[in-house]
Amino acid sequence: MNGNNNGFGSAATEYIRRHHRHETGENQCSSALVKRIKAPVPLVWSLVRRFDQPQKYKPFVSRCVVQGNLEIGSLREVDVKSGLPATTSTERLELLDDDEHILSMRIVGGDHRLKNYSSIISLHPEIIDGRPGTLVIESFVVDVPEGNTKDETCYFVEALIKCNLKSLADVSEGLAVQDRTEPVDL
Protein backbone atom coordinates (compact mmCIF):
# COMPACT_ATOMS: atom_id res chain seq x y z
CA MET A 1 0.00 0.00 0.00
CA ASN A 2 2.79 2.45 -0.73
CA GLY A 3 3.65 2.44 2.98
CA ASN A 4 0.93 5.07 3.50
CA ASN A 5 -0.44 3.45 6.63
CA ASN A 6 2.32 4.96 8.75
CA GLY A 7 0.86 7.12 11.48
CA PHE A 8 -2.68 5.69 11.18
CA GLY A 9 -2.56 4.15 14.64
CA SER A 10 -2.60 0.48 15.52
CA ALA A 11 -6.38 0.02 15.17
CA ALA A 12 -6.45 1.55 11.67
CA THR A 13 -3.38 -0.43 10.64
CA GLU A 14 -5.10 -3.66 11.77
CA TYR A 15 -8.35 -2.76 9.91
CA ILE A 16 -6.33 -2.04 6.76
CA ARG A 17 -4.56 -5.38 7.07
CA ARG A 18 -7.88 -7.25 7.55
CA HIS A 19 -10.24 -5.47 5.15
CA HIS A 20 -8.18 -3.59 2.56
CA ARG A 21 -6.19 -6.16 0.63
CA HIS A 22 -5.56 -5.30 -3.00
CA GLU A 23 -3.54 -7.29 -5.49
CA THR A 24 -1.27 -4.62 -6.98
CA GLY A 25 0.25 -5.27 -10.39
CA GLU A 26 3.53 -3.88 -11.71
CA ASN A 27 1.99 -0.84 -13.42
CA GLN A 28 -0.53 -0.04 -10.67
CA CYS A 29 -0.60 2.11 -7.56
CA SER A 30 -2.45 1.50 -4.34
CA SER A 31 -3.00 3.46 -1.15
CA ALA A 32 -5.27 3.78 1.88
CA LEU A 33 -6.64 6.93 3.49
CA VAL A 34 -8.13 7.39 6.95
CA LYS A 35 -10.70 9.92 8.16
CA ARG A 36 -12.16 10.29 11.63
CA ILE A 37 -15.76 11.54 11.62
CA LYS A 38 -17.59 12.93 14.64
CA ALA A 39 -20.78 10.98 13.93
CA PRO A 40 -21.83 7.44 14.85
CA VAL A 41 -21.23 4.53 12.46
CA PRO A 42 -24.96 3.92 11.66
CA LEU A 43 -25.38 7.52 10.49
CA VAL A 44 -22.20 7.51 8.36
CA TRP A 45 -23.01 4.06 6.98
CA SER A 46 -26.49 5.25 5.95
CA LEU A 47 -24.73 7.58 3.47
CA VAL A 48 -21.87 5.30 2.36
CA ARG A 49 -24.04 2.21 1.71
CA ARG A 50 -26.21 4.10 -0.80
CA PHE A 51 -24.40 2.88 -3.90
CA ASP A 52 -27.32 4.36 -5.84
CA GLN A 53 -26.86 7.87 -4.39
CA PRO A 54 -23.13 8.74 -4.16
CA GLN A 55 -23.96 12.39 -4.88
CA LYS A 56 -25.29 12.66 -1.30
CA TYR A 57 -21.69 13.14 -0.19
CA LYS A 58 -19.41 12.92 -3.23
CA PRO A 59 -19.04 16.49 -4.54
CA PHE A 60 -17.85 15.50 -8.04
CA VAL A 61 -20.93 13.38 -8.83
CA SER A 62 -23.79 15.25 -10.49
CA ARG A 63 -26.05 12.30 -11.28
CA CYS A 64 -26.26 8.55 -10.72
CA VAL A 65 -28.53 5.91 -12.26
CA VAL A 66 -28.49 2.30 -11.06
CA GLN A 67 -29.51 -0.47 -13.43
CA GLY A 68 -31.69 -3.08 -11.70
CA ASN A 69 -31.93 -3.80 -8.00
CA LEU A 70 -29.28 -2.66 -5.53
CA GLU A 71 -27.30 -5.86 -5.00
CA ILE A 72 -23.83 -7.31 -5.53
CA GLY A 73 -23.05 -6.94 -9.24
CA SER A 74 -25.32 -3.91 -9.67
CA LEU A 75 -24.05 -1.31 -12.13
CA ARG A 76 -24.33 2.43 -11.73
CA GLU A 77 -23.78 5.10 -14.35
CA VAL A 78 -22.26 8.18 -12.75
CA ASP A 79 -22.09 11.60 -14.37
CA VAL A 80 -19.08 13.60 -13.21
CA LYS A 81 -19.24 17.37 -12.72
CA SER A 82 -17.19 19.50 -15.09
CA GLY A 83 -13.68 20.44 -14.05
CA LEU A 84 -12.37 16.88 -13.83
CA PRO A 85 -10.73 14.90 -16.63
CA ALA A 86 -13.85 12.69 -16.93
CA THR A 87 -17.52 12.91 -17.85
CA THR A 88 -18.97 9.47 -17.00
CA SER A 89 -18.09 6.38 -15.04
CA THR A 90 -19.67 2.92 -15.03
CA GLU A 91 -19.19 1.23 -11.67
CA ARG A 92 -20.05 -2.21 -10.29
CA LEU A 93 -20.92 -2.98 -6.67
CA GLU A 94 -18.53 -5.73 -5.57
CA LEU A 95 -19.37 -5.99 -1.84
CA LEU A 96 -21.97 -4.47 0.46
CA ASP A 97 -21.67 -5.81 4.02
CA ASP A 98 -24.13 -4.13 6.38
CA ASP A 99 -22.81 -6.06 9.40
CA GLU A 100 -19.13 -5.20 8.94
CA HIS A 101 -19.85 -1.81 7.26
CA ILE A 102 -17.76 -2.50 4.16
CA LEU A 103 -18.49 -1.42 0.59
CA SER A 104 -16.34 -2.30 -2.40
CA MET A 105 -16.77 -1.11 -5.98
CA ARG A 106 -14.94 -1.44 -9.29
CA ILE A 107 -14.94 0.91 -12.27
CA VAL A 108 -15.80 -1.12 -15.37
CA GLY A 109 -16.16 1.62 -17.98
CA GLY A 110 -16.67 5.28 -18.71
CA ASP A 111 -14.91 8.32 -20.10
CA HIS A 112 -11.89 8.72 -17.80
CA ARG A 113 -8.34 7.49 -17.20
CA LEU A 114 -8.97 5.34 -14.10
CA LYS A 115 -8.53 1.89 -15.63
CA ASN A 116 -8.84 -1.21 -13.44
CA TYR A 117 -9.82 0.96 -10.48
CA SER A 118 -11.29 -0.73 -7.44
CA SER A 119 -11.85 0.58 -3.95
CA ILE A 120 -12.88 -0.62 -0.53
CA ILE A 121 -14.38 1.63 2.12
CA SER A 122 -14.86 0.39 5.69
CA LEU A 123 -16.33 2.04 8.78
CA HIS A 124 -15.30 1.30 12.35
CA PRO A 125 -16.68 2.63 15.66
CA GLU A 126 -14.39 4.95 17.58
CA ILE A 127 -14.89 7.35 20.47
CA ILE A 128 -14.02 10.90 19.36
CA ASP A 129 -14.11 13.72 21.93
CA GLY A 130 -16.06 11.46 24.30
CA ARG A 131 -18.83 10.71 21.77
CA PRO A 132 -19.53 7.88 19.32
CA GLY A 133 -17.56 8.51 16.14
CA THR A 134 -16.47 6.67 13.03
CA LEU A 135 -13.07 5.73 11.69
CA VAL A 136 -13.43 5.59 7.89
CA ILE A 137 -10.78 3.86 5.79
CA GLU A 138 -10.82 3.98 2.00
CA SER A 139 -8.27 2.11 -0.08
CA PHE A 140 -7.85 1.72 -3.82
CA VAL A 141 -5.80 0.19 -6.57
CA VAL A 142 -5.63 1.57 -10.13
CA ASP A 143 -3.57 1.29 -13.29
CA VAL A 144 -1.00 4.02 -13.86
CA PRO A 145 -1.98 5.72 -17.14
CA GLU A 146 0.61 5.98 -19.88
CA GLY A 147 2.54 9.22 -19.46
CA ASN A 148 2.03 9.36 -15.69
CA THR A 149 4.08 8.07 -12.77
CA LYS A 150 2.82 5.97 -9.87
CA ASP A 151 3.28 8.96 -7.55
CA GLU A 152 1.28 11.29 -9.83
CA THR A 153 -1.53 8.76 -10.17
CA CYS A 154 -1.70 8.05 -6.44
CA TYR A 155 -1.61 11.76 -5.63
CA PHE A 156 -4.52 12.46 -8.02
CA VAL A 157 -6.71 9.62 -6.72
CA GLU A 158 -5.85 10.42 -3.09
CA ALA A 159 -6.88 14.05 -3.65
CA LEU A 160 -10.28 12.92 -4.98
CA ILE A 161 -10.80 10.53 -2.07
CA LYS A 162 -9.75 13.19 0.46
CA CYS A 163 -12.39 15.54 -0.98
CA ASN A 164 -15.01 12.79 -0.80
CA LEU A 165 -14.07 11.89 2.79
CA LYS A 166 -14.11 15.54 3.87
CA SER A 167 -17.55 15.94 2.33
CA LEU A 168 -18.70 12.70 4.00
CA ALA A 169 -17.49 14.10 7.33
CA ASP A 170 -19.20 17.46 6.75
CA VAL A 171 -22.54 15.87 5.79
CA SER A 172 -22.42 13.24 8.57
CA GLU A 173 -21.37 15.68 11.27
CA GLY A 174 -24.08 18.12 10.16
CA LEU A 175 -26.71 15.38 10.45
CA ALA A 176 -25.28 14.26 13.82
CA VAL A 177 -25.53 17.79 15.21
CA GLN A 178 -29.21 17.95 14.17
CA ASP A 179 -29.90 14.72 16.08
CA ARG A 180 -27.83 15.54 19.15
CA THR A 181 -29.23 16.99 22.31
CA GLU A 182 -26.58 18.71 24.39
CA PRO A 183 -26.72 18.56 28.18
CA VAL A 184 -28.05 21.79 29.64
CA ASP A 185 -26.72 23.18 32.92
CA LEU A 186 -29.47 24.76 35.02
The residues spanned by each domain of the chain are 29-179
> 91, 108, 167: which is closest to 136 by C-alpha?
167
Size of the chain in residues: 186
Mean pLDDT of the chain: 87
Q: Which residues contact 77 (CB under 8 A, 6 or more apart)?
A: 64, 65, 67, 88, 89, 90
Side-chain-side CA neighbours of 54 within 13 Å: the count stands at 28
Q: Is the dihedral of CA 141, 147, 151, 156 positive or negative?
A: negative
What homologous superfamily does CATH list for 29-179?
A: START domain (3.30.530.20)
Inter-CA distances, 135 with 86, 145, 180, 183, Å: 29, 31, 19, 25
Residue 163 has pLDDT above 50, yes or no: yes
Residue-level pLDDT at 184:
41
> 65, 36, 64: which is closest to 132 by C-alpha?
36
In tens, the pLDDT along 119-156 reads 999 999 999 899 999 999 999 999 999 999 999 999 99
What single-letter amino acid sits at 140? Answer: F
> 48, 17, 27, 21: which is closest to 123 by C-alpha?
48
pTM: 0.86
